[in-house]
Chain A
Amino acid sequence: MPDSKRFLHPEAIRRIARMEVRARHIVEGFLTGSHRSPYFGQSVEFLQHRQYVVGDDLRHVDWQVWARQDRLYVKQFEEDTNLRCHLLIDISGSMLYGSGPLNKYEYGCTAAASLAYLILKQQDAVGGITFDSQVRERIPVSSRRNHIMSIVKAMDAETPENKSDIAAICQKVAQTFPRRGMMILVSDLLTDTDQLLSGLRLLRQRGHDVLVFHIMDDDELDFEFDGPTRFEDLETDAVLSCNPRGLREGYMQALDSFLEKVRHGCAKNMIDYALIRTSDPLDAVLAHYLSNRLGMHHKN
């Protein structure tokens, strides 16, 4: 059976050099594979009437037409958006690690571009920032279709090298964007966990809807190294020569503790959290986003 999503796999995506093309490819491929649109728009501008069929929401029935013509029609409106989405993309040095076709930085940027494309395609507004220990690039929020180019250019302009400080970034974002919106954090979260959670909590307190895409490499999650290995920290000068198998158990315990703490902190603050492997197909990010959107409407 042909698999329409096979082209969303990171290995296939890697062949596409341009980010905006990647994003369109991912989103179109994702939508093509869906049988039913999982989203619907809400607008105040009337578009047309349609004859009522069983199952239509009675709230949308145009009672004036029924009164005049004794026929049931429902009103259809032109879609409009009030969603303002901010992509917070981590470009710290730790995002450079990757054992697969895409490292975390590439994977995260591709996922962010795909989300931006999808959001723009839904007539919503999207903006973003790239950051490490401080904000590197800022892209204003816009719903223009060609805004994707600005986002992609901003992500591509920076080379990851510094240590990330997500708490400070969240604080700055909360101050910069006082209007409620959606905050999508794409990061490996390799920073101080307590500060990270406090930053995310601040965003939630300001009324933002927060999504966290936790990008991790397979090696980081499984740690299946063999033989004498010298590990060199991507963000600092720390070095460790060891036999990894002897440290694997302790590493996994520390990792699980970290993940559990993050997951628990996000759940506690009603933050959507998704751990994404760089080996996962990229539609996973979109699917999670859309499920979040549904959940958000239900919540709202």
Chain B
Amino acid sequence: MQNIITSSPLVWAGLLAGMVVLPVLIHLINRLRHKRVSWAAMDFLLTSHIKNRNWVWLKQLLLLVARIACLLLVLLTIGQVGCDSDGMARFLGGNVTHHYIIVDDSLSMNERDAGQTALQRASDTVGLIAGRMSGADNQRVTLLRFSQIQHALSDPGMNRNDEETDDLSPADLNGVLVDRQIERVVLDATERIQPTFIASRPQAVLELVADLIQKRPSENSLVYVISDFRKSDWSEQNALTEVFEELSKSNAVVNLIRCAEQFSNNVAVTSVQPAGSVRVAGVPLMMEVQVTNFGDESVRKSRISLKAATYPDDSLPGKATADLALELKDLPTILIDEIKPGETVSRRFPVLFSNPGQHAIRASLEGDSLPADNARWIVVEFLTSKKVLVVEAADSQDSRFLALAMSPGGMTGLQIEQASKSKLRDETLAWFEQYDAIFLLDIDQLEASVVNKLRDYVELSGGGLVFFAGPNTNLRHYTSDLYDQGNGIYPLPLERAVSIPEQLGEASSDFSPERHPIFASVMDIDFSPLDLVQISQVVQPPPEWSAQDNNSVQVLATVRGDQKAPLVVEKKIGKGTVLAVTTSAGPQWNNWMRNPTFPTTLLLVQDYVSRGKDSLASPVFVGQRVAYELDVSDFRPDLEFVSPVNAEEGLGFDRTTWVTSGATDNRAENPSIKNVLLGQSLDEVDQPGVYERWMVSNNGDRDLERFPINVDNSESRPELASRGDLLSIADGARVVSWQNFAPSPNNNRGTSLVRVLLILLVLILLVEQLLARSASFHPRDHSKKPWDGRPRKPWRGQQPQSRGA
């Protein structure tokens, strides 16, 4: 029992003792206040007394007990005594009324309007509900947040289908019995409800509550869902409809309380990505930032603030995380004149990091009504250099042109290495993998083992492969072994070498590029230098060949002429890309190497084909768990994670470190591999920013990985679900705005303990009255009082009556 009386056991004990002693005292005093009668027929009275003495005593005792019980029941009723035991409550006829208050604390609830966020309104509404239920009896309250439950249910160790599972341990309040102090308890709990950056969905928490209600059929359930009801979460979702049908079957009363108005504008940074793949220290890298206007009005003069965080070299042994002082640098702000409704605008900006390492870039917009989605982080690893391998025939000099074009004085960050065809035969795949791209210049043919290694290099490692044709190209070998009917690594079959007649006068260019990233430098130029390229000879596929026969093959450029013979053909294989150029890299069949477009196009080609090796990890959103496989044969079992909790703009120094043990979930096939989870607790991953994972090898070497965790933009769209949308999902629910919401005073649909106590009190009072009358504590008839000397009413002439006559 929890109520104001029981808050002090001494008070409770004193009142109980008083209620017991008081009737006894009154009884004893009454016995002293008897009237005296001088009596004649004493013998009859004594006879009756002897005969009925025990029964009279019993009645008086029962009367005393009844009066004590009455006072105790009055005390219990006034004390609003509840019942902790549901079984006892059911026995007494009072079903528990359970209030499930579900608060949406997703990032969209941070949207501010009229000086107040939707989450603050939600907290106020929770307080309103708590205030109304305060002091009610036989009621319980559970307070849940979207983020808590979604995170808890994403735990792979939690089995929701387990019949025994009704664990609401992440809940702020879990079935707390309502008493007079419930308002304070709930308010304390709501203070813990803070804005999150998590794009939570209602599905998980509603399913959990529906399951709980189904497992508690004896309870009357009231469900309050307090949210902004974004259309992206609450529109036409069959799964949600099924959940509400389950709730309806369980006779739960559902209140959907909207805490937000319709908003018109929200602009968010939706992407920050490198635009180039050459991420080398000291070499500028183009970055691309995307800003989306999710509102229904144009946004003008948007300013994108950029910051670059340069981390010191972490490869030095013995460096601790606390010793790593990063350097923050503001980059030039980008101004966007106008972003139309629904439009995504991209802007590029260069970043330059002089030191190699994992560095971070932050792009952010100036504040709008929903600041949570205004910033985005990315971590880019910059190397000392990137290697490109050029393989050519023994007597060829073409590699010089490529080296000069791609690494003029080392400015591009590319390190060009040359190798002979025979070296490829002797090296392993790991040797191939050190190169971002491999250029094969006028190679006549390749051994099968080399072809296989190159295939793995492209398909599995994401490497780029570029073939240039030439006089030595063995067309039959290329067609049969490399093309292999479309299954090989070469994009097209080769049938013959064709000479392109020289074109005199102002004819069209020999080089006809398609719109593709590798030709970005020559596109949309009125007088492109590419028009000056003259191609004298190419190798051509059979006329019946078409790139459209294979979805992974695309022709990127063609040669002048009616045949539109393919000049550059692309084929995607696994993670990597293969390009085939049907003319030579050297001056044998064209003059491209003397054209200014040659180095720029080659750099773009290298950048394009090597993107497979630089593919970024899958984006991680706030609130998600990040799993790692730890090989404990090489590394110590404890991982150290550094999160940007309390850090300035997710990049500062004031960071919190989590140490997570890796000794969990051994893999059967490899016992040395253990799974390590960041985010077992939600507060480990509830902030956007740059995180760090530190591993220490058994040799004491540190291995660092930085990765960004950003907000999910799925809730950035400000459109709210309409009342009709909500009713189509939750038929029969009460949809109400927070301004109009008033908790029903009839929330208590069950029979309360107070009501039971009152009924008992009335029954015992009736019994007490009967006993008191029987025990002669009530006057029977006042007209029968002993004669007081005054004349009685006039005699009406009735005949004298005598018993014995």
Contacts and interface: CB of A to CB of B under 8 A. Distances in A.
A262 B477 CA distance: 149
A36 to B, nearest CB: 19
B41 interface: yes
Given A234-B40, A249-B48, A11 B795 contact: yes
A190 B776 contact: no
B68 to A, nearest CB: 19
B739 to A, nearest CB: 64
Interface stretch (B51-59, B241-249, B597-605, B721-729): B51-59
Nearest to A253: B48
B793 to A, nearest CB: 9
B56 to A, nearest CB: 4
Interface stretch (B18-26, B271-279, B415-423, B784-792): B784-792
A128 interface: no
Interface stretch (A119-127, A174-182, A219-227): A219-227
Interface in B37-75: 37-49, 51-52, 55-56, 59-60
B35 to A, nearest CB: 5
Contacts of A63: none
Contacts of B59: 246
B776 A97 contact: no
Contact of A240 (B30, B31, B49): B49
Contact of B48 (A238, A241, A247, A283): A247
B157 interface: no
A96 B39 CA distance: 9
Nearest to A276: B802
A74 B59 CA distance: 76
A295 B780 CA distance: 42
B677 to A, nearest CB: 79
B31 A228 contact: yes
A80 to B, nearest CB: 31
A101 B792 contact: yes
B239 to A, nearest CB: 73
Contacts of A234: 38-40, 42
A251 B45 contact: yes
A277 B802 contact: yes
Interface stretch (A1-9, A23-31, A140-148, A151-159): A1-9
B34 A227 contact: yes
B39 A97 contact: yes
A228 B51 CA distance: 18
A97 B42 CA distance: 11
B804 A251 contact: no
Contacts of A233: 38-40, 42
A224 B804 contact: no
B469 to A, nearest CB: 127
B794 A190 contact: no
B46 A240 contact: yes
A258 interface: yes
Contacts of B749: none
Contacts of B301: none
Interface string A108-137: 000000000000000000000000000000
A235 interface: yes
B777 interface: yes
A250 B797 contact: no
B41 A220 contact: yes
Contacts of A188: 40
A94 B48 contact: no
B40 A97 contact: yes
Contact of B40 (A224, A228, A235, A254): A235
A182 B766 CA distance: 59
A278 to B, nearest CB: 10
B778 interface: yes
Interface string B765-776: 000000001111
Contacts of B805: 273-275, 288
Interface in B734-793: 773-781, 784, 786-787, 791-792
Contact of B56 (A94, A229, A243, A283): A243
Contact of A254 (B37, B44, B794): B44
Contacts of B40: 93-97, 104, 188, 190, 217, 220, 233-235
B800 interface: yes
A284 B35 CA distance: 33
Interface residues of A, number: 67
Nearest to A222: B784
B774 A246 contact: yes
Given A6-B795, A274-B804, A277-B802, A250 B47 contact: yes
B33 interface: yes
B803 interface: yes
A255 interface: yes
B192 interface: no
A188 B392 CA distance: 152
Contacts of A241: 31, 34
A74 B652 CA distance: 154
A217 B773 CA distance: 24
B797 A3 contact: yes
A240 B42 contact: yes
B161 interface: no
A249 B774 CA distance: 11
Contact of B30 (A6, A228, A235, A273): A228
A271 B774 CA distance: 40
A261 to B, nearest CB: 11
Contacts of A254: 43-44, 47-48
A240 B45 contact: yes
B670 interface: no
B66 to A, nearest CB: 15
Contact of B777 (A94, A96, A227, A236): A227
Contacts of B36: 229-230, 232
A230 B45 contact: no
B55 A230 contact: no
Interface string A263-283: 100000000011111001101
Contacts of B7: none
A229 B55 CA distance: 18
Nearest to B36: A230
A242 interface: yes
A100 interface: yes
B773 to A, nearest CB: 8
Contacts of B803: 221, 259, 275
Nearest to A213: B802
Contacts of A77: none
A231 interface: yes
A238 B781 contact: no
A195 interface: no
Contacts of A231: 37, 39, 42, 45
Contacts of B49: 240, 242, 247, 250
Given A97-B38, A246-B59, A255 B802 contact: no
A85 B786 CA distance: 36
**Residue from A221, A228, A244 with most neighbouring chain B CB atoms (10 Å):** A228
A214 interface: yes
B8 interface: no
Given A228-B30, A250-B47, A280 B37 contact: no
Contacts of A247: 45, 48-49, 52, 56
A230 to B, nearest CB: 5
A172 interface: no
Given A254-B48, A259-B803, 9 more contacts: A97-B38, A99-B786, A190-B40, A190-B43, A226-B778, A228-B34, A234-B38, A254-B47, A284-B800
19 contacts: A6-B794, A96-B40, A226-B776, A228-B30, A228-B31, A229-B36, A234-B39, A238-B42, A241-B31, A246-B52, A246-B775, A247-B52, A249-B52, A250-B49, A254-B47, A274-B805, A275-B805, A277-B801, A280-B802
Interface of B: 30-31, 33-49, 51-52, 55-56, 59-60, 773-781, 784, 786-787, 791-792, 794-795, 797, 800-805
* For the complex of A and B, 5 pairs with smallest distance between CB atoms: A250-B48, A245-B776, A228-B34, A275-B804, A284-B800
